Structure 1
């Protein structure tokens, strides 16, 4: 129905039929193998169906099968295993005479897949000739391939049917907070011979998922071992593991996490860059010297349990009317960043109901610790 795409004003047409006997989820065959024929004829092969003067069946049927089935063509692999093999020179001479299904479709597919995987630049050069209708050049090109690549083609076939196990790869953060959604991905997992057809996640807390890219929330702190099992189209499996450390809301791995057993302060001075643990009391007052000698400073709190509020002033002890920065998130994770302080002393107030939390002041930084 294409007509002659080399003619100006040619109008392309494509017709697909709906199979009334097919179930509701039945795919349209014409939009797979057959539609590739349409695109190939329109963009890769000069003129109409009868225009080529050399044999192109291997390419026409092979590219349609390869695009439609990609690396999942078990019927083609079985023709290698049962010994009904063809050489490249034989495949390139394929016609529709006798309608040898294996030779036309299976080995056309294998030849096209081999060339795309191992010699794609050669394929691109061949298409330069077929798009211009230079059939003698096309013939010379594929004849050269048959001479150069036959041994490699045979080795490639054996590697194809010597099925290797898939490679499971987990992509995810290794830290998180209680109740926080963490995304896990298996999308970087690979299989050397086919494709991965199923995945199974075990998040280490009794929960599982079969999604490729699930999200998960942990209900309590701790270190969890996450496992991913992938299965390929040949039934082989592989497993990967990944550790995730979950802390309570407000948790911070850059601050002390063992304040319950460390010495604590209930007030006094803070030294820049030195984290300290707090005593368990409702309000703590702390001072920071030389804040005006730093262009930027950041105050970070975290870990422990409870819910604290952090306030700062550069002109006396902070309260609701005298503060230059404050942070009041849920939990103990608070952050205040400041710049260009005028006075030598900075003053910090910590209030709320909390236990075993920690604090640090950092100079000449533009963000809090994470």
Structure 2
């Protein structure tokens, strides 16, 4: 049930922040709210996590200040596109509205045959936007709404809705085009208050009817547009206290829009909207809010308005004067309903707020074991790919589990082909990785914070822990890419697995150690390069960025998380430009990269930094710009170089049995027909730390399987590499002593293949 459920509207509300590191204890154990350990790497958000739909924000980073971006107001008329078409067909030309002033403007608006005729106004730009929505025009309409409200009849008989929607459109357009429209100041603020005061003073504004709801839902949103949440806290209280499941559709929509009001009000810096002050002035709003949830508990069904609005009650913990008042209310609500199933969005969201605003006080809410409680129900599937690679999942089929294992095992070989293989960093004992896959982003957002003590305003998290501690569990916490279904994909799987490999084979110590100097250009850049290269996908976003030539190479060596104020700009710098910087260095200056990685492997962060910023400095900036122009524009930034030494440099095996290998030798001209095998084995003395098996050359398609102490086949193996063609590599850490077995399996007839072994 959990795996199939659609939680599209109720992801966790989590503010933008650096990822909180996770402890190395078992998941769900103890008070995870206070756990802390090194190495937490966030990854780009998924399309689900950055949805532009303002009603169903999954993270506060997806929300926006002011009122936008909202393509058009929500109403019974349908989507913005449908509404725009309907308005164009039924309403005629709006030039009269755009070009009129004073009383004529009000007359033009009232003459519009229906509320939806105002929808195209939300799309105005340039001079039309300035003419329609400059401050004096807005003041005129606000004053008209004030006068209109005096005789408001609880419906749109006097065109109240057209006036409200004009104001909504004006705030929206000005919010996104302030330089064009001009500033809004005290005159409009005063007029807007007068209009809202007059509307809410009308007895008919509280009619629980669709006719009134059609107007009320837009007026409630206008509260958010005007930043006046505190002034109208009484309206919110009335709606919370009066709402029940019998409200008709348009009134229900008005209740939904309360979410915008309280969300943006809590986020306003320095309580600019007066909401916190209003709560302190009338603390009973908090009690009414809790009662709103319990009174309507029968509606809790994942996508309901009660969960959507009720979850923001947790923000009251961030009002110090009300913390003691709200604590028992939250404790009751979190433990009153199940933490899985239809009530999970309310219980888990409210639980998250306790972690955010009352950290290390989980006992006050009786949820110190919350992660441990939900873990078996939320992530019931456990699967072993290899002894060092396991999957824990919410809802994956056997085929999906198998394909994920195949992808990861094959990527290990690809990584070493590109980077080379010098073995694990001495002292790094991170031999085991657990991949955690939630069913979709919303499930990840609801539960990952509680089970693994991480922030979830991201697309996943790699937790390395302390690689020097025996038994440490490295973990990649992720979610399925639900928007790609029916195709199956774990979002950022190959990117994150690269972080594991990079940490084990390139970066000394834990993540905090690596952050002593800026290394993000490499850490995220190599993850992007390996992910796209292994999947043989074109990095269109990075190629598009290359054409902009935003950064010099020497600047990219300074990249850190959160460096750019705009989150999207920062994401471009970290991921797209990291991809470009690393690809350029690997292609054009591999010897320099050997030097840098040599210092990274020993933890000589200062030495690497000195080499990058002083020895290299700005010397490659001009060539980097040329490379962006030529190679990226014409050749998709060119291929990644293969660091694997040619098989022909490895000596031929000497034994007469062509199946048998020495520890370091090759056999040429191997062949098999489709469905058949070329079996092989090698004897390893005690103490071998690593065995590398590589195939290359020839024609057809031979896949490589490793069986350890048993014969290997496509249905019985410990590791495999199954790329297209004959280029396969397997790197086996700490292989057993004695005879070990490996096989080339003919997916298609193959011949002329070279197979080699290297051990150390």
Same fold (TM over 0.5): no
Larger radius of gyration: 1
Q: Which structure has greater strand proportion? A: 1
User: If the length of structure 2 is used for normalisation, what is the TM-score?
Assistant: 0.21
Which is helix-richer, 1 or 2?
2
- TM-score normalised by L of structure 1: 0.41
